[in-house]
Structure formats: C-alpha cells, structure tokens
Amino acid sequence: MRVSENFRSSFRALGHSKIRTFLTMLGVIIGVFSVIMLTSIGEGVKQRIASEVESLGANLLYVFPGRIQMPTMSQTESRLGARAGFGPLGTANGSLTYEDVLALKEHEDISAATGILSGADILDKLNLLVSTTGVDEDFFRIRALELRYGRYITLEERESKSRVAVIGSEANNEIFDGHDSTGKTFELNGVGYEVVGVLQYKKVESMGPGAEDLNVKIYVPVSEMLDRRDDWSVGQILVRAASPKAVDSAKRSIEGILRDRHGVVDFTVITQDDMLAAINRILSVLSAAMGGIAAISLVVGGIGIMNIMLVSVTERTREIGVRKAIGAKRRDILIQFLIEAVVISVFGGILGVLLGVGGSAALARIVPNIPTAISFTAVAVSLLFAFAVGCFFGVYPAAKAARLNPIEALRSE
Amino acid sequence: MVEIESLYKSYSNGLNVTEVLHDVSLGISAGEFVSIMGPSGSGKSTLMNIIGCLDRFDRGSYHLEGLDIAEASDNRLAEIRNMHVGFVFQSFNLLPQYNAVENVELPLLYADETPRAARQKAGELLEFLGLGHRLNHKPCQLSGGEKQRVAIARAVVNSPSLVLADEPTGSLDSKTGSEVLEMFRKLNEAGKTVILVTHSREIAEEAQRIVHIKDGVVSEASHAG
C-alpha cells in the first residue's frame, strides 16, 4: 500500500475516536509545552543578562584585587583542576591602589579608568548608616549615567579631594524632597558635602549587573574617601578600552602595568566577554537541566501512546485480520499503526510548541520580571524528541499488530 | 487450479494436539464450482483457509495455479491472497468505519493501485452489482444482502481466479441468500473458480461438485445436479 494511503487510514482511525486521540496527545502536548516554556525562560534570562552587560558598554574591563580564576571548561570538567570560583567582587585586600588607577589612565589603549571604593557613612539628616561610593571623574562617562540636575564630579574636584557628591534620584527624594538640590549641602559623619549633580531616575533591573539600584547611590570623589582612611587601596578598577578592538591589548597592557608596579600578579583583569561567557556557561547548564526534567514528562506521554496503541490493536484485531485476508502484508499493518503513533506524537509536539511559544510570550507579558525567549534549537529538539518518542513507543504495538495470525485475528471478537 | 496432496494440519493448545485435516488430497480444476460440505468441526473451514493461503499446513503439498504454497513466504502469501484469491465470509467482515466503495477499493490499494484508479474501479463494480446508490453508505446503513454484495465486490475487484466463500448465506434470509448464490453462479459462468463452504446440503447442491469432509478426512467427491 502506498504510504499516502497509510496516512489517510491512520488519520481516519484517529479521527474515529477523537477524545481518546486528544487525551493521548495531551501527554505529548504537556511534555513539549513544558520543555519549550522552561528553556524559553532560561534563554530569556541569558539574553537579558547579555543585553544588560552589553548596555554597560562593550569595551569594559574590570580589575579586581587578588587572583580570581574564571572557571574554564577544562577546570569545571576535570577533577584535577584547582577548585577555584568566581570570587566575591570588590573584596579589597589592598592590592589595588589609587596610584595604580592613575598609572592606568596614562596608557594609550585605555580611554578611561576609575577606582571604585565602597564605603559606609552616617547620613546625619536621617541618622542612618548609608553606603557611599568613591569614584573618579571617569566613572560617570564609563557607566554613561544620565544627569537630571547639575554636573558630574570633575578632575579638579578629585585631585583636590573636594567634599562634593553626585546623588541618585531616590537619595535626592529622601534628603531634599526631590527638588533640584545642586549647590545644597548635606552632612556625612558631621561634615558637609555639596551636591553637584543629581542622577536621572533609572529603572532597577531584576537581574544581571543592572540589578544594582543606582537611585540610592551617593557618589563622592574617591580621593576624598581615601583621604579619610589610612590606606590608599581601592576596591576595584573599572577601565574602558579605547575601542572594542583594543580590549585585548588593553587587558595585556593593564596586566603589564600592574605587574610592573606590584612585582607579582595579585590582581585579576576580566573583560566583558569573560564575564558573559562565565554567566552563559552557568545558565546553559541550568536551562539544559530544566529542559531535561521537562523531557521526562514527554517520555511519560510516550508511554501513554504505547498504552493506547496496545488497546487499539486489541480492539481492531478483527480489522487487522480482514486487512490481511484481502492482501495486507505485515509491513502494511506495521506502517499503519506506527503512523498512528507518530501522528499522535508529532501533532502533539506541534500543538505543544504552539502552546509553549504562546505561553512564554504570555508569561513575559504577565510577569515582566521573567524574561522569555524561544530558541530555535529548543523547538527543533523537542519536535524531534516527540517524533522519536512516537516511533519508539509505537513500534511495539505496531509490530504486535503486524505479527497477528490472520486466522486468529478473523476469529476474534 | 488447486492441487492438494496428502495434507495434514493439526492445532495445539499447549496441552493437546488436535488433528484437523488428515491426509487430505483434493484437485479442483480451473472454472469449476465446488462445494465443500461437512458438519461443524469437520475441518472444512480450515481446509478453505489453507486453500485461500490464510493458514499454513503441517505436511503434504499444495499448489495453487502451479505455485508451491508450502515454500511461499508470508509476504508472498499476502500477495497471493491479494491477487489470486477472493474471500467472502459469513459475517461479511466489512470495515465498519469505511463506506461501501472504500471497503471495495482496499484490495486494489494493497495492490499499489493509485487511489484515483482504485476508487473508480470499485465504484464501477458496485454500480454493475446494482449498488450504485449505496456507494457512500457505511456497512451499518446497508441491509444484509447489500453487505454481502459489497463483500463479494471486494472479493472480486482485483480479478482473482479463485473465489472462496465460507457460509456466505449463513447470515441471510433465504430470498437474499439465493440472490447471493446466483451471483456466485454468474461469477463461475464468467470463468472464475468458485469454492463454497457450507454445512447445508441444499446450498451445496448449487455447485457442480460436492466435496464431503468429516473429521478431517475427505470422504467422498460426488457430482451434484
């Protein structure tokens, strides 16, 4: 029999018991739906983090004190590799100094560099311990922060260790009731600081580097903050390479300059790409694991197909006998029943993909904090998997039907 | 056409072996109209199934149109059933979800005819048999006589040389039964070899020759009226 005829008779048999066909299909639909949903969340998180990291500027380099090893593939896979993690950011163990920052600013591959130092000071007005951040004039350019009022901290202010501050919009709301506060002063630890700029309100992202709430920041010149301490080390250095192409040579230059100055490698330079690669590696494993768990439900759906096909073969034993009596070969019967199983699984797969695509779009709309993105790979893999499940669980019932003895099949009922 | 020599067939249910056919020899020439007659349990249906290549036998030899059936593979047997043999059953055995013309075209589809040609040939045959107005009716919408006529159409649509009928009138009243028998007679006149299996002497006598079978042994071959 022609395969097209086999398809026709399979569709008729499936259409004959619509509810049963649909319920059997439901197992596959739910399986594929969950695979698509879960992997789309994983993919969405990945893309959002990537876009947020990139929005910080493509040619950024981070210098951290101490030696941090980024886990590379060979290290995570080999048990021999030294156990090393992605160390805590900004732990100042004192290896990076203010002079290092000044030295880096001189290099031609580097267009901007800023030390970043986190501090905690008493905000006298509210009698509250607040976190303050010491930065260079370059910081605002590197991070491309937008101003609502006033200006950034200047080179002169940094060099003269002036008591000036650029504050976030939420900080401005709390200290100055949201009015233009440039020129006004507020007191930290009993000392007055003049506000020179107020930042534009910026929406806080749910994850990634953008999750930092810039609106509550109080930025002061890093030199002023260091002046109040007894050592001159900064928490981290943020560097912008002269161009995206110069990132690698900038990395080498930074490493060279700092090694010369320190005599040892007691720092780590991480590029934007290194960071993204590390994040992606973790997220890929997570999203594959989630997809794998969802795939288990697909296998359960396959068992449902096998179950219903076995029932169907038993019910239609007489039909199989008649078909054999009028000339159906084993192969004809095998293909007929196999097609039925595969049609259930593939149609279920297609419906599952459609539901999954719709569901993940709906999810992203209803819960904006959960980003979703459909990856073509996930769709293709889950459809192929559904097809494979149909074949695998359809073969046994179909072979059972094909093997039936025509005489016994005709006598049944 | 049919040459059977010393054929043995037994069934086993795991504990007991029941011999159904014992040393059966039978020859049927092309164009004959033969009845196989015997009481129930005599082995007549088994003999018919073997002649129709639905069942295999244990010992002996069977040639159908010169083909050695004992040596044929399952696939070959399916082809023979499809091309050379037409079955008519007591209980019609039409596929309930298919309408008349779809039932009749099935053997053509298994013979790899194109769907269009099969549909046309099946429709023409049903029209020739006076069922032109019933093409799209499902078996449950047809009377017993109509069902059996559809079944006969399905049996002969692939132009087999041999038509086998197992109690074809068993489920019919006597009037439609005799109409069905008349169709077999016409098929025989058209050159087909017809083998009719029945337990009824009255029906058996429609044939040119009666083969009696009892307890698995062909006891007598007589010429009827």
**Cα–Cα distance for residue pair A2/B123, rounded to 1 Å:** 20
Q: Which amino acid is at B18?
A: T
Overall average pLDDT of the A345-356 stretch: 95
For A412, name the nearest residue in chain B, comparing CA atoms only. B93
Six token digits for residue A285: 């494993």
What is the per-residue pLDDT for A85?
44
Per the prediction, chain B carries an average pLDDT of 91
Q: Is the pLDDT of residue B184 over 70?
A: yes
Contact state of A327 with B81 under an 8 Å Cβ cutoff:
yes
Q: Is the pLDDT of residue A316 over 50?
A: yes
**Of the partner residues B75, B81, B95, the one whose CB lies closest to the CB of residue A319:** B95
Among residues A353, A383, A397, A355, the alpha carbon closest in space to that of A13 is found at: A397
Overall average pLDDT of the A326-330 stretch: 94
- Is the ipTM, as predicted for this complex, more than 0.90? yes
Among residues A180, A170, A184, the alpha carbon closest in space to that of A130 is found at: A170
What is the per-residue pLDDT for A286?
86
Angle at the Cα of B195 from the Cα atoms of A404 and A329, rounded to 5 degrees: 25
Confidence band (pLDDT; 50, 70, 90) for A71? low
Q: Is the pLDDT of residue A41 over 80?
A: yes
Sign, CA dihedral A285-A287-A292-A293, equals: positive
Confidence band (pLDDT; 50, 70, 90) for A75? very low
Per the prediction, chain A carries an average pLDDT of 86
Sign, CA dihedral B95-B101-B106-B107, equals: positive
**Of the partner residues B87, B98, B115, the one whose CB lies closest to the CB of residue A325:** B87
Confidence band (pLDDT; 50, 70, 90) for B103? very high
Q: What is the pLDDT of residues B25-84, one digit of tens each?
A: 999 999 999 999 988 888 898 999 999 999 999 999 999 999 999 999 999 999 999 999
Q: Is the pLDDT of residue B186 over 90?
A: yes
Contact state of B109 with A1 under an 8 Å Cβ cutoff:
yes
Q: Is the pLDDT of residue A86 over 50?
A: no
Domain residue ranges in chain B: 31-57+75-223
What is the per-residue pLDDT for B220?
63
Overall average pLDDT of the A54-63 stretch: 79
For A13, name the nearest residue in chain B, comparing CA atoms only. B97
Q: Is the pLDDT of residue A63 over 50?
A: yes
Overall average pLDDT of the A311-327 stretch: 94
Sign, CA dihedral B136-B139-B140-B143, equals: positive
Q: Is the pLDDT of residue A78 over 80?
A: no
Specify whether the CB–CB gap between A133 and A220 falls below 8 A: yes
Confidence band (pLDDT; 50, 70, 90) for A179? confident
**Best residue of B56, B74, B98, B109 to probe chain A, by most A CBs closer than 10 Å:** B109
Specify whether the CB–CB gap between A304 and A25 falls below 8 A: no
Contact state of B78 with A407 under an 8 Å Cβ cutoff:
no
For A324, name the nearest residue in chain B, comparing CA atoms only. B78
Overall average pLDDT of the A169-174 stretch: 88
What is the per-residue pLDDT for B148?
93
Confidence band (pLDDT; 50, 70, 90) for A91? very low
Specify whether the CB–CB gap between B47 and B36 falls below 8 A: yes
The CATH code for residues B31-57+75-223 is: 3.40.50.300
B152 to chain A, minimum CA–CA distance in Å? 12
**Cα–Cα distance for residue pair A220/A185, rounded to 1 Å:** 13
What is the per-residue pLDDT for B61?
94
What is the per-residue pLDDT for A206?
58
Contact state of A318 with B93 under an 8 Å Cβ cutoff:
yes
A368: exposed, middle or buried (Cβ count in 10 Å: 0-12, 13-18, 19+): exposed
**Cα–Cα distance for residue pair A329/A323, rounded to 1 Å:** 9
Least trusted range by pLDDT, from A82-86, A101-105, A228-232, A260-264: A82-86
CA dist A309 to A341, A400, B24, B96, Å? Answer: 7, 10, 41, 19
Q: Is the pLDDT of residue A84 over 80?
A: no
Overall average pLDDT of the A150-170 stretch: 90
Q: What is the pLDDT of residues A213-223, one digit of tens each?
A: 888 889 999 88
Contacts of B107 in chain A (CB under 8 A): 326-327
What is the per-residue pLDDT for A92?
41
Among residues A140, A280, A141, A132, the alpha carbon closest in space to that of A208 is found at: A280
Confidence band (pLDDT; 50, 70, 90) for A9? confident
Specify whether the CB–CB gap between B156 and B163 falls below 8 A: yes
Specify whether the CB–CB gap between A318 and A410 falls below 8 A: yes
Contacts of B115 in chain A (CB under 8 A): 2, 4-5, 8
Answer whether A411 touches B (CB < 8 Å).
no
Q: Is the pLDDT of residue A76 over 60?
A: no
pTM strictly above 0.90: no
More confident residue, A49 or A306: A306
Contact state of A407 with B95 under an 8 Å Cβ cutoff:
no
What is the per-residue pLDDT for A211?
62
What is the per-residue pLDDT for A247?
87
Answer whether A408 touches B (CB < 8 Å).
no
